[in-house]
Structure 1
Amino acid sequence: MTVTSIRPRDRRVSPVFLGILAVTAVTGWATWTGFAEQPGIAVFLFVTAAWIVSLCLHEYAHARTALHSGDISIAAKGYLTLNPVKYTHALLSIVLPVVFVIMGGIGLPGGAVFIERGRIRGRWRHSLISAVGPLTNVLFALACTAPFWLDALDGVPADFRFALAFLALLQVTAAILNFLPVPGLDGYGVIEPWLSHGVRRQVEPFAPFGLLFVFALLWLPALNGVFFDAVDAILSALGVGDLETYCGQNLYRFWQETNTFCSVSR
């Protein structure tokens, strides 16, 4: 089966993904207009749905690039439909990232599409397949911060601005974590094809624990500070201040007591 002979149903966008897009659009509208009596609920649903959309696009980018690099089995697995249910590890790619957003405001990188690497020839192709996922998060972050760095915030309601800032923070953290050259993360997948066979064999057993290792390091105050300083510096360069991201996270956690300073700023 060639790329051009893939069945139309294998390319058709899933109703599940369209439903998530609809939730994003409706709750984004509710956040913009202040339709909901509790704005935090609208922000929570908007950011969560948009975050799931970005996760789907992240995995789709991996799958689509693998397809055009030679792995035609991608289509039959349902990865081109953007349906999160089709992912090999839905828990790692959808459930845990959402839980970590709710708990800690960190964009947890997932890794869910199963790619038959033996079908792909060329080290550059293997590296590109790994790189396009976090690059999708980078593009998503640029889209979220566009009103900030384009100085186009006039008329943008405060709640919507705060929600975009928090969503951008999630995308930046996901991109940084994903690009780390740690086994099990996309950053390692970028460099892995260029390593010797012996090195790859030695590193392979640690791949399932790479993400856990990274998050264990983030519990260390010094490393956590360095990480979020880098995140803040990137967001600042994109025109997003600490106030916007802080108030966005504050609104997102609507079940907690709302900070008076953020309420006044709205």
Structure 2
Amino acid sequence: MGLISLLSSDPVAFLIVAGALLLSLAIHEFAHAWTADRLGDPTPRRFGRVTLNPLNHLDPIGSLLLLFAPFGFARPVPVNPRNLSRWGNVGVAAAGPLSNLVIALLCVALVAVLPREALSDGFRLNTVGTIVVTVLSVNLGLAIFNLLPIPLLDGSRIVGGLVPSLGRSLAQFEAQPFSFLIVMLFIFLFSEQLGALISTVRDTILSVVT
């Protein structure tokens, strides 16, 4: 289920998670755009994507999927790979997940210094701590998901840059008119398995750092 299931059961949690996703996705896409711009590709700037304004990065279909489905996406940043070196393209692809990991590390540092309320069976974070842990969880999930080696995701472009022969095949697939629909169908059909994988990795990391 998507975020909409939280709205009726816990509206406050819905607002926290939705806000965390909105800001984290904007930072993720901004990181792609800023990196490409700095490495010499003017395409993201021409499309107004070198900005932290979330409205410039939202995708209508991706946002609806976040609300009603177990996955979603922001509007991909347009990049011209010809304006970048091989390693430049890898850097642009890696910038998005890396931005989420940086946010996650900042959240870990905050959790370490935030006060905890004593309980009979342990400790509980206060409201601010709960928000920080939510932002941490969201960014870990985004980083893990985007690093999966699935076509159109950052992970596949990183792998494609590291292995040029594979990168050419992936680029040919992504250039096909129905590649987006094929990938969306794959993610939808295997959403339960992908969700379990992401949750397992994320929860393992959370159990160590919180």
Q: TM-score, normalised by structure 1?
A: 0.61
Asked if residue 218 in structure 1 is aligned to residue 187 in structure 2, the reply is no
Correspondence 1:190 to 2:153: no
Q: Distance in 2 between matches of 1:153 and 1:97?
A: 36
- Partners of 1:44 and 1:224 in 2: CA distance: 19
Instruction: Please name the residue that 2:77 is paired with.
Output: 113
* Equivalent residue for 1:232, pick from 194, 203, 208: 203
User: CA separation of 1:128/1:212 partners in 2, compared to 1, >3 Å: closer, same or farther?
Assistant: farther
1:99 maps to a residue whose letter is: L
Larger Rg: 1
Q: Does 1:174 align with 2:148?
A: no
Indicate whether 1:142 and 2:105 are aligned.
Answer: yes
Distance of 2:143 and 2:51 partners within structure 1: 23
Q: Flag the 1:211–1:180 CA change in 2: closer, same or farther, 3 A.
A: farther
Give distance in 1, aligned partners of 2:101 and 2:171: 31
Check 1:201–1:146 CA distance in 2 against 1; reply closer, same or farther (3 A cut).
closer
Gaps of 5+ in 1: 1-39, 240-266
The separation in 1 between residues aligned to 2:198 and 2:16, in whole angstroms, is 26
Aligned to 2:95: 132
User: How far does residue 157 in structure 1 lie from its aligned partner after superposition?
Assistant: 5.8
Identify the residue that residue 48 of structure 1 maps to in structure 2. Answer: 18
Which of 86, 94, 115 lines up with 1:153 in the alignment? 115
What one-letter code is carried by the residue in structure 2 that aligns with 1:75? Answer: R
Report the aligned-residue RMSD.
2.8
Q: Cα distance 1:190–1:211, how it changes in 2: closer, same or farther (>3 A)?
A: farther
* Inter-partner Cα distance in structure 1 for 2:179 and 2:114: 43
Q: How far off its partner does 1:212 sit?
A: 3.9
* Matched-pair contact (CA < 8 Å) for 1:183–1:210: yes
Answer yes or no: is the 8 Å Cα contact 1:141–1:168 preserved in 2.
yes
Identity over aligned pairs, percent: 29
- Verify the 8 A CA contact 1:137 1:172 in the aligned structure 2: yes
Pairwise CA distance, 1:211: 4.5
Please give the alpha-carbon distance, in whole angstroms, between the structure 2 residues aligned to 1:97 and 1:142. 28
2:47 partner letter: K
User: Using the alignment, how far apart are the partners of 2:198 and 2:116 within structure 1?
Assistant: 31
In the TM superposition, structure 1's runs of 4+ consecutive aligned residues that sit over 6 Å from their partners are none
Question: Shift in Å at residue 56 of structure 1?
Answer: 1.0
User: Mapping of 1:37-76 within 5 angstroms?
Assistant: 41-76=11-46
CA contact (8 A) 2:141 2:202 kept: yes
- Unmatched segments (≥5 aa) in structure 2: 1-9, 118-123
Asked if 2 retains the 8 angstrom alpha-carbon contact of 1:179 and 1:185, the reply is yes
Residues 42, 125 of structure 1: alpha-carbon distance in 2 compared, 3 angstrom cutoff: same
Q: Structure 1: how far apart are the matches of 2:197 and 2:93?
A: 25
How many residues are matched? 190
Contact 2:114 2:129 in 1 (8 A): no
Equivalent residues of 2:100, 2:139 under 8 A apart? yes
